[in-house]
Amino acid sequence: MHPAPSVILFSTLSGAGFGLLVFLGLGLPAPTSWVAFTFFAIAYTFAAGGLLAATFHLQNPKNAWKSYREWRSSWLSREAWAAVAALLVMAFYAAPLVLAGTRVAPLGWLGALLSLATVFTTSMIYAQLKTVPRWNQPATPALFLSASLAGGALLSGNVGAATALIALLGAITLFHWWKGDRRFGEAGSTAETATRLRGKVSLWERPHTGENYLTREMVFVIARKHAVKLRIIAFALMVALPLVLLLALPVKHMVAAIAVLSHLVGVGVQRWLFFAEAEHVVGLYYGAHRANIAA
């Protein structure tokens, strides 16, 4: 799949933002006044900014408001609901904290739940797609949730939780990659099932010699050797470096900032790979994915 910068930015930032909201909602920490304002400002910038970035991906954003209609069947619609609900509830939770220093804990818990739900719905948009076998696995929601929570823990300064969650994220990421590399084969779609022709099927001519929406959007192919390199970078920045920083060094603001930055950039790279490595079955009509079927 084409790694659209707006979508990568969205999912990275909003993930971390909602993760931060989860921790804030749980009262870990439960700051007040200006400190609270700063925390919530960061959370809202990340979460809402991410959502805003996502709308850049829309080609007809004037109809974006209609996306609330189909919550019964559409994960994207549910995400829209969940996000608004989470942000609203958290606003009601934040306001007393900032203005009065009062913490209405049940609102926080609800907000945390909704924030988690938002991240979950986001992940389900991808995980539901049978057309992209790499995404279509239970580890996908786990990946999004752990990334969100790890980011949230880091941002909220929960060093212990952050350490554990980053380690968990690392494990899930490794599993997602390992499993993802097998998913296309498991899903069973091949050039032969795509065409139902008997014999060894390969593409002779694309329908159009130039690119089209599908080839750019869905038939993005990334070279194997780049992917390996990027996986190492992603893992190093997202997991290894923050862990080293958190465990080996005394946690100072500077160190924390580097850890957060490294982690977020790492998640960004991981997200880029999440898209770039994802093979859409439609690629079979364009002669792509031979290697993945073999793997």
Partner 1 sequence: MTQPEIDLHPRPGDAIRKTTCYMCACRCGIDVHVKNGKVAYIEGNRDHPVNQGVLCAKGSAGIMQHNAPSRLRAPMKRVGPRGSGEFEEISWDEAYDIAASWLTPIRETDPSKLAFFTGRDQSQSFTSWWAQAFGTPNYAAHGGFCSVNMAAGGIYTMGGAFWEFGQPDWDRTKLFILFGVAEDHDSNPIKMGIGKIKANGARVVGVNPIRSGYNAVADDWFGITPGTDGLLILSLVHCLMKAGKIDLEYLRDFTDAPVLIDAREGPGQGLPLKDDDGHALVWCRREQRPRCFDAEDVDPDLNGAWLDGDVTHRTVFHAMAQKYLDPAYAPETVAEATGIPAPRIRALAAEIARVAFDEEIVLDREWTDFRGRKHTTMKGRPVSFHAMRGISAHANGFQTCRALHMLQILIGSVETPGGFRFKPPYPKPATAHPKPHCKVTPGAPLDGPHLGFVHGPEDLALKDDGSPARIDKAFTWENPMSAHGMMHMVISNAHAGDPYKIDTLFLYMANMAWNSSMNTSGTMKMLSDKDANGDYVIPHIIYSDAYSSEMVAYADLILPDTTYLERHDCISLLDRPICEAEAAADAIRWPVVEPDRDVRGFQTALIQLGAKLGLPGFVKDDGSAKFTDYADYMVSHERRPGVGPLMGWRGNGDETGRGAPNPNQLDRYIENGGFAISHIPDEAQFYKPWNMGYQNWAVGLGLYDKPAPYIFTLWSEPLRKFQIAAEGHGPRQPPDHLRDRIKATFDPLPIWWDATETHGQGGYDITALTQRPMAMYHSWGTQNAWLRQIHGENPLYLPTEIWTEHLFEEGDWAQVTSPHGEITVPVAHMPALNANTVWTWNAIGKRKGAWALQDDAPEVTKGFLLNHLIHELLPPKGDGLRWSNSDPITGQAAWFDLKVKIRKTAAPADGTTKPDLGHQTSPVGHGPAVLKWEVT
Partner 2 sequence: MTSLPASTDKKLGLVIDLDTCVGCHACVTACKGWNTQNYGAPLSDIDPYGAAEGTFLNRIHAFQVEPDQGLAQTIHFPKSCLHCDDAPCVTVCPTGASYKRVEDGIVLVNEDACMGCGLCAWACPYGAREIDQAAGVMKKCTLCVDRIYNENLPEEDREPACVRTCPAGARHFGDLADPESAVSRLVATRDGVDLMPEQGTRPVNKYLPPRVKDSLQAPEMEGAEDILAPFLAPVAEEPKGFLKWLDTALEKL
- Give residues in contact with partner 2 (CB under 8 A): 1, 57-64, 66-70, 72-77, 80, 125, 128-132, 187-189, 191, 193-208, 210-214, 216-218, 280-282, 285-286
Beta-carbon count within 10 A of 129 CB: 18
Instruction: Give the closest residue to 193 by CA, choosing from 289, 276, 93, 50.
Output: 289
Q: With beta carbons less than 8 A apart as the criterion, state whether 186 and 133 touch.
A: yes
Q: With beta carbons less than 8 A apart as the criterion, state whether 146 and 125 touch.
A: no
Window 189-218: contact mask with partner 1 (x via CB under 8 A): ---------------x--xxxx-x------
Beta-carbon count within 10 A of 20 CB: 27
Element (DSSP H or E) covering residue 89: helix 75-95
Between residues 174 and 203, which has the closer beta carbon with respect to partner 2? 203
Residues 30-89 that bind partner 1 (CB under 8 A): none
Between residues 62 and 200, which has the closer beta carbon with respect to partner 1? 200
Between residues 42 and 48, which has the closer beta carbon with respect to partner 2? 48
Q: How far is the CB of 68 from partner 1 (least distance, A)?
A: 15
Beta-carbon count within 10 A of 147 CB: 31
Which of the choices partner 1, partner 2, none does residue 199 contact, using the CB cut-off of 5 to 8 A by kind?
A: partner 2
Using CA atoms, how far residue 96 sits from 5, 102, 104, 163, 277, in Å, is 36, 5, 8, 31, 44
Between residues 61 and 101, which has the closer beta carbon with respect to partner 2? 61
Q: With beta carbons less than 8 A apart as the criterion, state whether 109 and 25 touch.
A: yes
Q: How far is the CB of 228 from partner 2 (least distance, A)?
A: 26
Between residues 5 and 188, which has the closer beta carbon with respect to partner 2? 188
Between residues 207 and 250, which has the closer beta carbon with respect to partner 2? 207
Which of the choices partner 1, partner 2, none does residue 225 contact, using the CB cut-off of 5 to 8 A by kind?
A: none
- Which three-class secondary structure state does DSSP give residue 173? helix
By CB under 8 A, tell whether 253 contacts partner 1: no
Q: How far is the CB of 125 from partner 2 (least distance, A)?
A: 7
What span, in angstroms and rounded, lies between the C-alpha atoms of 90 and 115?
Answer: 9
Q: With beta carbons less than 8 A apart as the criterion, state whether 276 and 234 touch.
A: no
By CB under 8 A, tell whether 250 contacts partner 1: no
Which of the choices partner 2, partner 1, none does residue 281 contact, using the CB cut-off of 5 to 8 A by kind?
A: partner 2
What's the token pair of residue 218? Answer: 């869905």
Q: How far is the CB of 198 from partner 2 (least distance, A)?
A: 7
Q: Which residues make up the interface to partner 1 (CB under 8 A)?
A: 204, 207-210, 212
